[in-house]
Amino acid sequence: MVKPDSNYKLFIDGQWVDGKEGKTFKAANPANGETLATCVDAGKEDVDLAVSAAWKAFETWKHVSPQERSRMLLKIADLIDANAERLAMIETLDNGKPIRETLGIDVPLSSDHFRYFAAAVRTEEGQAVMIDQDTLSLILHEPIGVVGQIIPWNFPLLMGAWKMAPALAAGDTVVIKPSSTTSLSLLELAKLMNQVLPPGVVNVITGRGSAAGNHILEHPGFRKLGFTGSTEVGYTIADAAAKKLIPATLELGGKSANIFFPDAPWEKAVEGVLVGILFNQGQVCCAGSRVFVHADIYDKFLAECVAMFNQVKVGLPWEKDTQMGAIVNGDQLQKILAYVEVGMKEGAKVACGGKRITAGGLDKGFFMQPTILAGVDNRMRVAQEEIFGPVATFIKFRTEAEVVAMANDSEYGLGGAVWTKDINRAMRVANAVETGRMWVNNYNNLPAHAPFGGYKKSGIGRETHKMILEHLTQKKNIFISLSEAKIGLY
Amino acid sequence: MVTRETQVEELMKMPGAIAWCVLHGVSLFSCAGAFPGTVGRLLELKLVKDIDGFLRDLNDGVGQDALGGP
């Protein structure tokens, strides 16, 4: 079986280097507790070196033609595909997600992301406008500089692709930090990128958010920050960006509404509940965690979902028939179990699951039963707060207006779906729900080429689409007088 | 003793702290990892009105849990 390296260093200026403070942390397999590797717990001096390397590289990278940048991104995509099995298995071992997901989703979506931006950058054009007969205005897109990026533990490889591919396409250089919970796949990706990119264009800093993460936020050398994570940390990122007067794009938390009408395509809809909340063990920012079901079908739909949840194979994530793997660590499992307790105290009923799994050789890992809390009121904490686990909250509704009001009664607005065969109703509901992504008769599809990002406290900016290039470039206006004549004012 | 200045990642090392905080309305941990700041700052962001009261109950509650109490 594929194994990660036993030690990973920092990737700075095209070199693998030790941390200046000599601190390290262990990466552990959440499915069995085994240590996978030792990584560097970076400090301030390491961040300084990475930012300096990125600026040095920017001086040449910004002049590399779009054609050449595109070619390099395509080469990175090819290398990802050529190393798909290794990347997928390392992600599975480090994160706990099933190999069928890492091999079938995380890795191919990552390579496709590089291909999408390789293509997108070739279509980027400035503008030329004749302001009047004698005046030409040119608008040019220029790279913004060194970008600081911090990504979460739930999709480390894919979020790395989401962040780095557009930045490199735009001509920026990058200092990126994965979560200390799951650092390995990004470090593996850095090895591949090192075969293609000039030194310093991408720099990977590992370590704790409270150390390396905060040093990135405090560092004066960034021209933009990009972050995916919780809303609370999002405030901290926005604060740091404001103090430096630089832009930040933020993809934050969610509590998304997955809405089912009586005319939903039934079998696909039932599966849509599982796809919405069990994919990646429910550790997805846009998870369909609030399941709104029309009163006319509520009891039957709930019963069928319970039956399906009970059939899900929870198991060791590297086994091919495992449908749900391990929760990312013990802290997250404690949190999920505590939320189940909160729901019960609030009056919700556990329709299925609700407990940790230790039987069947899973006692050394952090496994959770697929869980449905039924009879939930939308104002309960379990319907308002992000549980970030395989816990669906079922809420009954009677009218379209009522369900739209409940869907919008949330501080978040990241994902959501409506399931119906009535196209008029689908469009009405999709338009009315305040969210950045509304699926119709599907869920959790996240390909490149469709913008993703949040309304309200779910974030600022959009990714997975060429519109992110707007955030990663600055606009130079060259204003040209074509006339030989004086203005005549003096 | 947990104070406003305690780092969240230090609080998370105390047995029972994560569950106690969730049960009392505050999540310490997200997909970004442990909140990278102090307990006081997180409680402010979570709009906890009586931060001193929260900390007092936290020290009592988690202390009991760590000692094997209720």
**Candidate from A153, A180, A339 with C-beta closest to B31:** A153
Residues of chain A with Cβ-Cβ distance to B31 below 8 Å are: 152-154, 179, 228-230, 283, 285, 388
CB-CB under 8 Å, A335 with B29 = yes
The pLDDT of residue B70 is 36
Distance from CA of A127 to the nearest CA of B (A): 39
Say if the Cβ atoms of A214 and B29 lie within 8 Å: no
User: Which of A462, A291, A252 lies closest to B30, judged by CA?
Assistant: A252
Task: List A residues 383-442 in contact with B (Cβ-Cβ < 8 A).
Answer: 385-386, 388
| Cβ–Cβ gap A388/B19 under 8 Å | no
pLDDT given at position B63: 65
Sort out which chain A residues have CB atoms less than 8 A from B37's CB and list them. Answer: 210, 214, 236
pLDDT, one tens digit per residue, over B32-53 is: 899 999 999 999 999 999 999 9
End-to-end CA distance of chain A: 80
Residue A251 is among the residues annotated as catalytic for this protein: yes
Torsional sign, CA A46, A52, A55, A57: negative
Buried b (16+ CB within 10 A) or exposed e, A271-281: ebbbbbbbbbb
Q: What is the DSSP letter of A390?
A: S
**How far off is chain B from A123, nearest CA to CA, in Å?**
34
Q: Which residues of chain A have pLDDT under 50?
A: none
Residues near A367 by Cβ (< 8 Å), separated by ≥ 6? A31, A314, A325, A326, A327, A356, A357, A358
Residues 6+ apart with CB under 8 A from B27: A335, A385, A386, B21
> Taking CB atoms and an 8 Å cutoff, what residues of chain A touch B27?
335, 385-386
CA distance A331 to chain B (A): 7
Q: What is the mean pLDDT of residues B13-32?
A: 94
**Is the pTM of the predicted complex or chain greater than 0.90?**
yes
Residue A281 zone, left/alpha/beta (φ > 0; ψ -120 to 50; rest): left
Taking residue A405's Cβ as centre, other Cβ atoms within 10 Å add up to 13
Check if A285 is active-site. Answer: yes
Q: What is the pLDDT of residue B68?
A: 39
Name chain B contacts of A209, Cβ cutoff 8 Å: 9, 32-36
Task: Report pLDDT digits (tens) over A150-192.
Answer: 999 999 999 999 999 999 999 999 999 999 999 999 999 999 9
Average pLDDT value for chain A: 98
Q: What is the pLDDT of residues A31-76, one digit of tens each?
A: 999 999 999 999 999 999 999 999 999 999 999 999 999 999 999 9
| Minimum-distance CB partner of A334 among B19, B25, B37 | B19
- What is the Cβ-side half-sphere exposure of residue A172, based on CA atoms within 13 angstroms? 30
Compute and round to an integer the Cα radius of gyration of chain A.
24
Confidence of residue B64 (pLDDT cuts 50, 70, 90): low
DSSP H or E stretch at residue B7: none
Write down how long chain B is: 70
Distance CA A4, CA A11 (A): 16
The pLDDT of residue B62 is 86
Say what the pLDDT of residue B61 is.
Answer: 87
What pLDDT is stored for residue A1 in this prediction?
85
Instruction: Please give the Cα distance from A309 to A5 (Å, whole number).
Output: 36
Question: pLDDT tens digits for A397-421?
Answer: 999 999 999 999 999 999 999 999 9
